[in-house]
A and B are shown apart, each in its own frame.
Chain A
């Protein structure tokens, strides 16, 4: 019997490349999430990691990348939150430029938001983007589907069709889901899809016309503020809905288990198998990044900015609610005080907040309350930023600077273990989205990046591969340079030592 179409696995697509055969000698192989921390060589063949950690006897016909000796190799970064502006706003960014920017930042996969024109709120648009990425993108692109039709926050988008088209998750990012009944409907309707809702937190009636964090510096500068409660308020409210729907989901699952037990003639010895039980560690050797895992959170909170939000998420996690959270490099590193220079690239939503908020985010990242780093890469055209700050659009780019900025600001000087940063940029986002994690393991798909942790460079527009010039870190001197990014065993981006 044919049954209803099951939602298919998330689809992540990029340009196919012939598998290459190359050796990177004398590197530090570091994949803390999977217990890899060793020195040696790395051999890539036929799309997978063919040897690692030992001195590999040089096979014939292999490119030896001598100039990468001494660098570090990390599992490829994954960004759960970027704006690739396609379709509709290709003058800001397109799949080719955005994916190249990602590759230049060490990313092997990024997930594009749905606030495009047209909005990605139905299967055909999602499929178009993913098909297009198959020819245009150098690293894997995943797509979220809208929660509400047209991002209008009024009625559900066709989420089942979007899931069948391969979207990774659902999000109205750029706008909050303000209507509680709509969010409740979305939480319930998404149950059948195996996808998380990624929520942009914002009380729009409170943020209206706001430019920056409401506090000491908004008072001094005369800019209208956006209170921290603008984020923590909806967060508290949405956590209540998550708690309610999670409990309801448990009860519904119990009705099915009971029916199955009765059909099987009494409970199975050892108790029923929970259908939402985690599937454990992926098999060594790994699976393709697109392969779905069994569990995703009900809700993932995007770009946390406030200490009050961190406190609420921490408490929710202690309680066992199925929620996760992300923070951006700019919120983890920069504060509202910087707005005194009226740099339009620092105008972001949510706004850069106080030092206390920033410190709370960093602590939360370290302890795991914040699961992953997301750049919220938001490229804009110069004419959209080179206007008085009150008129400038919100957003900063982030893909090309994320690792170096965080390595410089949090690992080198902030005491964050490098291992935790790598986890938060690779395995962390995969767990949130239900994707298989990139890993440095024999036989695993070769999805990694090579970083020179010794190289210091200055962020300048000349070096950007993406179209956006609006980077919050422009002019800063950072340590740690991505030298190579490999997806499916093919080199997608390479940069010589000292190259801008």
Chain B
């Protein structure tokens, strides 16, 4: 099984991952946080873009499942010597890995990798394409907080245009019965997104009746074309930045990280008790253990010890 797009999973697939995650979450509370589930299996993390959360989360997930893990990073790999993605994957394939977890700056790179390996490929973010494991951990966090996801209202705010997280979250959240709306400068909405029947708003007034505000970082490093979509970060944060007084007492804040304090949210809000940002990171580890397990479930003999 590969996990390239959130569309690869059905509702029951996702619910099954939640069930597995519940077990793995419990393991994280033990004093010895390791189970032998993937002993003898090989996981290769290929990270061609900087990452703190996702890379550490996947590495730790694999280690807690007792898999053998190696990490390939762009800066310290042959990619910096001009090696193509195809050659990198074929080289790694020679080690007969079970799972390749891949982060890459180009859209569709993970799907391409599946053509050159027999391993399960897990997309850990492909450019401005998708980030399905982030969506799953977000859903899992929401389920832990709210229980039932049906009818929950989530506003995704900010740089939707260049966000792979927004692209996975929008479709994954709706699959699970969450009402999603997009809020932000019209120039940070992907042109054509309205064809996907999602309500799009220009202003933060649209946050008044949502349960969860999902903030995104301004991804300046993914700029395409010559014209910046907003005039300045100053104007962005003045009009669309969130501070505690713009958030109701019962609303929760989510963010995939890394956060830019003072831009999409104030420092105070980042540290506010309504923030689920660290809760998301915690969920991420359990969900990624579940994903690694599920990728190999067909070839494993038993359910994980939980």
Residues of A within 8 A of B (CB): 1-6, 149, 154-161, 179, 181-182, 185, 188-189, 191-192, 248, 251-252, 254-256, 258-259, 263
Is B225 an interface residue, CB under 8 A from the partner? yes
Given A161-B235, A161-B238, answer yes or no on A189-B227 (Cβ-Cβ < 8 Å).
Answer: no
Question: How many residues of chain B have a CB within 8 Å of chain A?
Answer: 37
Task: Give the interface centre of B179, B181, B187, B198 by most chain A CB atoms within 10 Å.
Answer: B187
Q: State whether B194 touches A259 (Cβ < 8 A).
A: no
Give complex CA distance A152, B141 in Å.
Answer: 46
Most buried by B among A4, A161, A179, A189: A4
User: Which A residue's beta carbon lies closest to that of B232?
Assistant: A158
Q: Are A3 and B207 in contact (CB under 8 A)?
A: yes
Contact check, B199 vs A256: say whether CB atoms are below 8 A apart: yes
Q: Are B226 and A259 in contact (CB under 8 A)?
A: no
Inter-subunit contact B197/A189 (CB<8 Å): no
Q: What are 5 A-B pairs with beta-carbon distances under 8 A? A: A1-B245, A1-B247, A3-B246, A188-B187, A255-B200
Contact B235 A4 (CB under 8 A): no
Q: Is B304 an interface residue (CB 8 A)?
A: no
CB atoms of B227 and A3 under 8 A apart: no
A6 and B203 in contact, given A181-B225, A182-B227 (Cβ under 8 angstroms): yes
Q: Which residues of A contact B194 (CB under 8 A)?
A: 248, 251-252, 254-255
Q: Are B226 and A181 in contact (CB under 8 A)?
A: yes
Which single member of A189, A251, A259 contacts B181 (CB below 8 Å)? A259
CA distance A366 to B302 in the complex (A): 85
The answer to whether B201 and A156 touch across the interface, beta carbons within 8 angstroms, is no
Cβ–Cβ contact A251 & B204, under 8 A: no
Beta-carbon nearest neighbor of A262 in chain B: B179
Which residues of the other chain, A, contact B246 by a CB distance below 8 angstroms? Answer: 1-4
Cβ–Cβ < 8 Å partners of B227 in chain A:
154-156, 179, 181-182, 185
CA distance A254 to B193 in the complex (A): 12
- Residue pair B208, A189 in contact (C-beta under 8 Å): no
Q: Which residues of chain B (167-203) have a CB below 8 Å from chain A? A: 179, 181, 185-187, 191, 194-195, 197-203
Distance of A313 Cα from B229 Cα, bound (Å): 29
B147 interfacial by beta-carbon distance below 8 Å: no
Within 8 A of A (CB), among B225-243: 225-232, 234-235, 238-240
* Cross-chain contact A185 with B187 (CB below 8 angstroms): yes
**Whole-angstrom distance between the alpha carbons of A319 and B205 in the complex?**
33
B198 proximity list for chain A (CB < 8 A)? 255
User: Interface residues, chain B, CB within 8 Å of chain A?
Assistant: 179, 181, 185-187, 191, 194-195, 197-205, 207-209, 225-232, 234-235, 238-240, 245-248
Alpha-carbon distance between A258 and B179 when the two chains are bound, in angstroms = 13
Nearest chain A CB to B306 CB, angstrom units:
39
Determine how close the nearest CB of chain B comes to the CB of A160; give it in whole angstroms. Answer: 5
With contact pairs A191-B186, A252-B194 given, residues A156 and B230 touching in the complex (Cβ less than 8 Å): yes
Nearest-neighbor residue (CB-CB) of B235 within chain A:
A158
Q: How far is the CA of A263 from the CA of B228 in the complex (A)?
A: 35
Report whether B231 and A4 are in contact in the complex, using a CB–CB cutoff of 8 Å. no
Residues of A within 8 A of B179 (CB): 259
Whether B231 pairs with A256 at a CB distance below 8 angstroms is: no
| Number of inter-chain CB pairs below 8 Å | 91
Instruction: Using A3-B204, A160-B238, A189-B185 as known contacts, say yes or no to A259 and B199 having CB atoms under 8 A apart.
Output: yes
Question: Are A192 and B199 in contact, with the CB atoms below 8 A?
Answer: no
* 8 extra interface residue pairs, beta carbon distance < 8 Å, beyond A1-B207, A189-B186, A259-B181: A1-B245, A4-B203, A158-B234, A179-B227, A181-B227, A185-B229, A191-B202, A251-B195
User: In the complex, which residues of chain A have a beta carbon less than 8 angstroms from the beta carbon of B202?
Assistant: 191-192
Nearest CB to that of A191 among chain B residues? B186
| Nearest chain A CB to B113 CB, angstrom units | 32
In the assembled complex, the Cα of A1 lies from the Cα of B245 at a distance in Å of 7
Assembly CA distance A251 to B225 (angstroms): 25
Chain A residues with Cβ below 8 Å from B245 are 1-2
Residues of A within 8 A of B230 (CB): 156, 189
Residues of A within 8 A of B201 (CB): 256
A5 to B238, CA, bound (A): 8
Nearest residue (CB) in A for B234 is A158
Q: Which of B203, B231, B240 contacts A156 (CB 8 A)?
A: B231
Asked if residues B199 and A3 are in contact (CB atoms below 8 Å), the reply is no
Q: Quick check: B228 and A155 within 8 Å, CB to CB?
A: yes
Contact residues in A for B191 (Cβ distance below 8 Å): 248
Please name the residue on chain B nearest to A153 by beta carbon: B227
B231/A159 in contact, CB under 8 A = yes
Closest to B203 in A: A4
Nearest-neighbor residue (CB-CB) of A251 within chain B: B194
Minimum Cβ distance to chain B for residue A188 (Å): 4
Q: How far is the CB of A12 from chain B (nearest CB, A)?
A: 23
- Assess the A3–B205 pair: CB atoms within 8 A: yes
Q: Please determine whether B200 and A3 come into contact, CB atoms closer than 8 angstroms.
A: no
Q: How far is the CB of A190 from chain B (nearest CB, A)?
A: 9
Q: Which one of A2, A6, A189, A256 contacts B200 once the chains associate, using CB atoms below 8 Å?
A: A256
CA distance A6 to B202 in the complex (A): 11
Provide the bound-state CA to CA distance between A179 and B248, in Å. Answer: 42
Q: Are A252 and B200 interface neighbours, CB within 8 A? A: yes
What CA separation (Å) do A251 and B231 show in the bound complex? 25
Interfacial chain A residues near B228, Cβ < 8 Å: 155-156
- Select from chain B the residue with minimum beta-carbon distance to A188: B186
CA distance A487 to B238 in the complex (A): 36
The minimal Cβ–Cβ distance linking B288 to chain A, given in whole angstroms, is 33
| A192 nearest in chain B by CB position | B202
Are the C-beta atoms of A258 and B197 separated by less than 8 Å?
yes
Q: In the complex, A252→B248 CA distance in Å?
A: 26
Which chain A positions have C-beta within 8 A of B226?
154, 179, 181
Of B185, B195, B231, the residue contacting A155 (CB under 8 A) is B231
B187/A189 in contact, CB under 8 A: yes
A158 x B185 contact (CB < 8 A): no
B185 contacts A192, C-beta separation under 8 Å: yes
A178 to B3, CA, bound (A): 44
Please indicate the chain A residues that have their CB under 8 angstroms from the CB of B231 in the complex: 149, 155-160, 189
Q: Which residue of A lies closest to B240 (CB)?
A: A4
